[in-house]
Amino acid sequence: MDNKMLRCKNIVVVLSLLLMLMVIPHILEDFAVGEPAKNDVPVLLLQVVVACLIAVQALGLYYLGGNHRRGYFIQMGLGLIWPLLAGIAQLPAILSTHTYRSGFISVFFVIGIIVMGVLLFLACLRGLRVTPKQKN
């Protein structure tokens, strides 16, 4: 593996971990303030969906560790899904009120999810360009 491929892979891994560091506290805050109940979303359903998304993200990291291109595809998909979910669910509330939940830290996590997700998506595109296709 050459330097460029290794650097791209490391960037994707770091961005994916940073995305998880934004997602997990934000989700915990969602549950703490009762967001699922306010929006008539069954808590169990949301728990399962979030757990599956985090498990898929971990699987993508595993594939990246094994130098499989599918790890980039998984991370790229999650780099779109997390920001879309955060943006659709939270941005209207952030933009329409003066104080959003716990204030700055709550907004920081939402904006962090969006920024890290977009950066992850872009880093995966770059990683796919520099990583040769493997014959299976």
Helix, coil or strand: residue 53: helix
> Per residue in 92-131, pLDDT tens?
888 887 778 778 888 899 999 999 999 999 999 999 999 8
> Per residue in 3-25, pLDDT tens?
889 999 999 999 999 999 999 99
Tell me the whole-structure pTM to 2 decimals.
Answer: 0.88
pLDDT for residue 90: 85
> Per residue in 50-79, pLDDT tens?
999 999 999 999 999 999 999 999 999 999
Tell me which residue of 76, 87, 92 sits closest to 22, measured CA to CA.
87
- Domain edges within the chain: 3-130
